[in-house]
Every structure is written in C-alpha cells, then in structure tokens.
Amino acid sequence: MLKCALKFSFLLVFCAHSFAQSGFEIREKVGFLAAHHAGMAHIPKQLAIATEVSYLKRLTGSQLWQKSYREPIVGSTLFIGSVGNNQILGRYVGVYGFAELPIIKYKKYRMDWKFSTGVGYTNNPYDPITNPKNVAIGSHFNALMCFALKQTIGFRNSAMTLGLDMTHFSNGAFKVPNLGINLPYVSLGFQHFFQGVSHRINQGEKDEISRINPSPRPNFLTYQQWQLSLNGIFTCKETMPIGGKKYPVYAGSISLRRYGSQKSGVEVNFDVFSKQALLNYEPMVQKSQWDILQLGISASYILPLDRFNFVYGAGMYIRDKYRADGPLYIRLGCRYYLTKNISAVFGLKTHYAKADYLEFGLSYHFIHLKK
C-alpha cells in the first residue's frame, strides 16, 4: 500500500505536459526529533542530519494554472539521513514528489511554500527481541510527508536556498507501534537549472516561451464551479497491543466542492467511518456494526495544480459512541483526477499527532454546476 503512495506522489511531477526548465538541487539538513508523546521521551539522543538531492522542473506558464502560480517548481527528491537516534531508529531513505509555490517573488529573490508526499524506508523498525525500544515506527516502509518554507536567492542560472521544514514518517497505524516521527529541519542548499536559463527569466526568454506557447492552454478542470462527489475509502490498521491482528476500515463521504480560482478551493463533507478495530475496544462490551459506526462533518482547503490537488481538512464527530480518539480529526492528502468524473485519493487521517489510518480510495464526481 505504501508503494502505491510512492507512485501516486510522482504523478505530481508529470501531471501536466508543459514547457519547463529542468535542474537539480543539493540540500543539507540539520534538525532534531520532536518527542510529541511521553512514550518517546527516551528516544531523542542526537541531531538529525540528512542530505536531499532533487530533480526540478520550473513550469513557465503553458497552462493557466501555472501562470496563476507565477512559475511554480515541481520535482522529486531523494532523502538520505538520520532522524535523531541511530541505534534505536536507524537510518532513513525516502523518495517524494513535491510542489513549490511562490509566496514572494522580487527580482532574483523568491520565497516558496513547499508541499510533498512520498515513501520512506528504515533499516531498524520495532522488533520485540532486537529493538523493543523503538515505539515510534513498526514497519520498514512508511509514508513520508514534508512541508517547508523555502527562500531562494538566484545568480545567473543558479541559486542558494535556505529552508525550514517539518518532515514526517508514519505508516498510518498499518503496523504498530506507530507513534510516528516528526522532524523540524533547517536546510541550506545549492540549485542549478540547465540550458543556460537564468534564475529570473529575461524578456527574450519570455518571447521564446510565448512563441512556443502562444497562449496558455486551458486547465483540465473548470474552475468557479460546484461539484457534488461520492468518495469511498478502504484500508487496514492495527491496534495495540503489539502483535495483534489487522482490522479493515471502510469509510466514505458525500462532498460539496467549489474551486473558486486557479489557486484554491473549499469543500464540505459528510463523513461515515466503520473501523472494525473498534470491535476490540472495551472487549467485555458486546457491540454491533451500528454501535461502531462513526459519523462526522468536516471542511477542507484545496490547493489545485490542475489534475493534482492537495487537500487539507479537519472535522468533528457528530456520532461516536465510544469516543476512543476524542471529538476531532484531521485529514491530509492528495487527489488526482483520472477523468473529469473520477479521481484517485491518497491521504492520512489523524487525531492530533496520532495517526488513525492511511486512506486509499476513489471519488466519483456526479455533477458540474458552472457559475
């Protein structure tokens, strides 16, 4: 399932055929392990040090959404490094796809907000005999997410970068223990674009881009519209104690979604959850499928990159008989439109810093009500 997350993340890099400038970036990162749970207090021992090598594509406006974002950068990154305790947590390798969207652009300076998702691997997960102190990660493969604020100062066709990011590893409770790893990093990097392209495009290059792409192509989606959607999720999760069985999770929602512009959208959802693991909660109490059914309402902010959308949402349960995880939940993920009516979904549902499960599913969009 986590390998599917890796494939899904790289759709970001190739989600649009476009005129783009290719390059690379090498970045060194230093940070620390944030022990967000009391059970992890014994783990942080060392600085977290990592190297990232990235392939970059700077999109130059061949589609309307690219023009609206003012030359966003997309790409893929190889992560290699430590996460705060080499003996217990081991070393990590990860690959993720990302998008960097400009917040500020002035001459050769730009500040970007970075979103990314992918998959990570550790050589030292929890083992009851050889590594019983690793209560953070219970599997070799884990989902990897990274959110960053990045500054770039360009010169000719190269640039220096300075970043502050939060990197997260978790298997979404697919295998316990799974308290997860959160790593604030500071990074310093060097960036270079090929084909003699300067960091800031001059007028001659703009004219050449205009000649190749005389006008931006329409987006795949039609913005300023309403969508009514039906979403279905299927996944699995484990619960404590360690060594227990995997339980299926069935979830779905009805969504009303609106893309208000090229760069943003909102949606409201009526959510239904059937987590079979709740049958094992308070095992002395007899339960039915109706007893464990959870209902919720949520709202999400959408960041569209044409076919590829990042989705960030929060909700509250309006029916939750046992309240095993509190009243609120958070959903982070992405959506890729396979057709105008069908999209694939990958995400992570959490309760604060505690992962609930990874989400894999499909959405069917019934109607398009244009403004």
Q: Are residues 208 and 80 in the same domain?
A: yes
Give the H/E segment covering residue 53. strand 48-59
**β 158-170/141-155 pair status:** antiparallel
Q: Is residue 93 part of a domain?
A: yes
What is d(CA 121, CA 350) in angstroms, rounded to the nearest whole number? 21
- Structure-block tokens of residue 281: 């909660």
- Give the domain range for residue 158: 2-212
Interval 273-302 mean pLDDT: 93
What is d(CA 357, CA 340) in angstroms, rounded to the nearest whole number? 27
Interval 243-267 mean pLDDT: 89
User: Which segment, 156-170, 255-269, 279-293, is predicted with the most confidence on average?
Assistant: 156-170
Question: 110: Cβ–Cβ under 8 A, 6 or more apart, which residues?
Answer: 102, 104, 151, 152, 154
Q: Are residues 132 and 162 in the same domain?
A: yes
Of the listed ranges 3-12, 84-93, 245-254, the least confidently predicted one is 3-12
pLDDT digits (tens, 9 = 90+) for 172-219: 888 889 989 999 999 999 999 987 544 444 545 555 545 545 556 556
Q: Are residues 166 and 308 in the same domain?
A: no
Q: Are residues 169 and 262 in the same domain?
A: no
Residue 90 region, left (φ>0) first, then alpha (ψ -120 to 50), else beta? left
Q: Is residue 121 part of a domain?
A: yes
Q: Are residues 184 and 256 in the same domain?
A: no
What is residue 278's predicted lDDT score, i.e. its pLDDT? Answer: 92
Q: Is 214 helix (H, G, I), strand (E, B) or coil?
A: coil
Domain at 340, CATH number: 2.40.160
pLDDT digits (tens, 9 = 90+) for 60-94: 777 778 888 888 999 999 999 999 999 999 999 99
Q: What is the mean pLDDT of the chain?
A: 86
Q: Are residues 159 and 14 in the same domain?
A: yes
Residue 281's pLDDT band (boundaries 50, 70, 90)?
confident
What angle is formed at CA 253 by the lines to CA 249 and CA 258, rounded to 5 degrees? 140
Residue 223's pLDDT band (boundaries 50, 70, 90)?
low
Q: Is residue 220 part of a domain?
A: no
Share above pLDDT 70 across residues of the chain, in percent, rounded to a whole number: 85
Q: Are residues 190 and 250 in the same domain?
A: no
Q: Are residues 362 and 296 in the same domain?
A: yes
Q: Is residue 219 part of a domain?
A: no
What is d(CA 72, CA 85) in angstroms, rounded to the nearest whole number? 35
- 269 vs 36, residue with greater confidence: 269
- 268 vs 280, residue with greater confidence: 268
Which of the listed residues 190, 212, 234 is the one where a domain comes to its end? 212
Q: Is residue 58 scored above 70 in pLDDT?
A: yes
What is residue 220's predicted lDDT score, i.e. its pLDDT? Answer: 66
Q: Is residue 17 scored above 50 in pLDDT?
A: no
Q: Are residues 310 and 365 in the same domain?
A: yes
Question: 208: Cβ–Cβ under 8 A, 6 or more apart, which residues?
Answer: none
Q: Is residue 162 part of a domain?
A: yes
Q: Is residue 183 part of a domain?
A: yes
The model scores a pTM over 0.75: yes
Q: Are residues 25 and 113 in the same domain?
A: yes
Q: Are 75 and 96 in contact (CB under 8 A)?
A: no
What is residue 49's predicted lDDT score, i.e. its pLDDT? Answer: 97
Q: Are residues 280 and 131 in the same domain?
A: no
- 224 vs 18, residue with greater confidence: 224
Interval 104-129 mean pLDDT: 93
Q: Are residues 94 and 238 in the same domain?
A: no
Does the CA dihedral 363-364-369-371 come out positive or negative?
positive
Domain at 77, CATH number: 2.40.160.20
What is residue 1's predicted lDDT score, i.e. its pLDDT? Answer: 47
Q: Is residue 217 part of a domain?
A: no
Q: Is residue 322 scored above 60 in pLDDT?
A: yes
Using only the alpha carbons of the chain, give its radius of gyration. 22
Residue 134's pLDDT band (boundaries 50, 70, 90)?
very high
Q: Is residue 218 part of a domain?
A: no
Which of the listed residues 153, 180, 212 is the one where a domain comes to its end? 212
- Structure-block tokens of residue 171: 């298997």
Please state the domain count of the chain: 2
Which of the listed residues 185, 212, 239 is the one where a domain comes to its end? 212
Q: Is residue 33 scored above 60 in pLDDT?
A: yes
What is residue 165's predicted lDDT score, i.e. its pLDDT? Answer: 96
pLDDT digits (tens, 9 = 90+) for 236-246: 998 877 777 88
pLDDT digits (tens, 9 = 90+) for 337-346: 998 889 999 9
What angle is formed at CA 26 by the lines to CA 25 and CA 27, rounded to 5 degrees? 115
Residue 261's pLDDT band (boundaries 50, 70, 90)?
confident
